[in-house]
Amino acid sequence: MHYTIGVLCLLISFHCCLSVPASPRDYKVFADLPTCSTEEDQLSDCIKQIFNTLNPRLKDGNTDLKIPPYEPLVLNRTSFQYSSGNVNGRITMKNAKIYGFSANTAKEVNAKYKDGKVKLRFLTFLPKLNIAGQYKADLQVNQLQIKPKGDFNVTLTNVEVTTITDGEVYEKDGHRFFRMKNIDSNPKIGDLHIKANGIFQDPELDKIALDVANQYWRDIYGIMLPETRQYWQPLLLRIFNEVLELVPIDAFLKD
C-alpha cells in the first residue's frame, strides 16, 4: 500500500509530457500559445505559461493529437520489490485511478539552453491528489509473514514537486527533438491520509494499523521515498523520452 506514495512521485511529473502536441503540423490547434525564445530570461517564463495553459485544457485528452485523458489517470498494474530494514517483499497495485492532475500548476520554471544542451528545473503545486484501487502484497516483517490484499484510497494535499532534468537537442527527419539524460523528482507533501482494508483478517486490527500509519505517515514516507527511487526514477526517464520522441520542439522553440 505504501508503494502508492512512490508511484505518485512519478505520476506528478508524467502528465506534463501528455500535454504537448504530437507534431508541429498539429500545433495550429494551440495557435494562442507563445513561441519561446532561447534567451534564458524569456525561455523560463514562456515554458511556464505553456505548461499552465495546456495542463487544464487537455485533462480530457485530444483525439486529433492522440492525447489520452489523464483526469482520472488510470494505472492498470504496477509492482515493486521492497527491502528496507526489517521489511522485505513485493507490493502490487492495480486498477488505480488518480484524480487531481488537472489542477497542477507550475510555480517556478528555470530553463537554460545552450549549444543544444538543455537544463530544466520545475517547481509545481497540486492542491489535492486522490488515488484509489486494489493492492496485494507478500511481505516479511521481522519474522512475521503477511499477505495483505484489498482496496485502498490515499489522499494527498498541498503537494509541491521539484523536478530537475538535463538533456540534449537532436535532429531527426528534418525536425529537432529533446532527449532527457537524467531526471530527479522530489515531492513534498502537506498532508496524507490513508484508507484501506484487508491488511489483517480482523477489521479492528486494520483500524489500528491505519491509525498508526496516518499518525506517522511522515516517517513512513521518509523511508519509502528513497527506497522506491531506484524503481520509479528510471521508469520516469524512459516514459519521458518515449513521449518526447513524438514531440518535435520546432513548434514552440525559436532560436
Model pTM score:
0.77
pLDDT for 17 beyond 50: no
- Count Cα neighbours of 15 within 13 Å in the Cβ-side half-sphere: 33
pLDDT in tens, 164-207: 999 998 888 878 888 989 988 888 999 999 999 999 889 999 99
pLDDT for 19 beyond 80: no
DSSP letters for 100-138:
-GGG-EEEEEEEEEETTEEEEEEEEEEEEEEEEEEEEEE
pLDDT at 73: 82
pLDDT for 2 beyond 70: no
Q: Where does the pLDDT of residue 1 fall: very low under 50, low under 70, confident under 90, or very high at 90 and above?
A: very low
Residue type, 106: A
pLDDT for 162 beyond 80: yes
3 state SS of 99: strand
CB 206 within 8 A of CB 200: yes
pLDDT in tens, 101-117: 889 999 999 999 888 89
Match 520546432 to its residue by C-alpha cell.
250
The architecture CATH gives domain 3-250:
Super Roll (3.15)
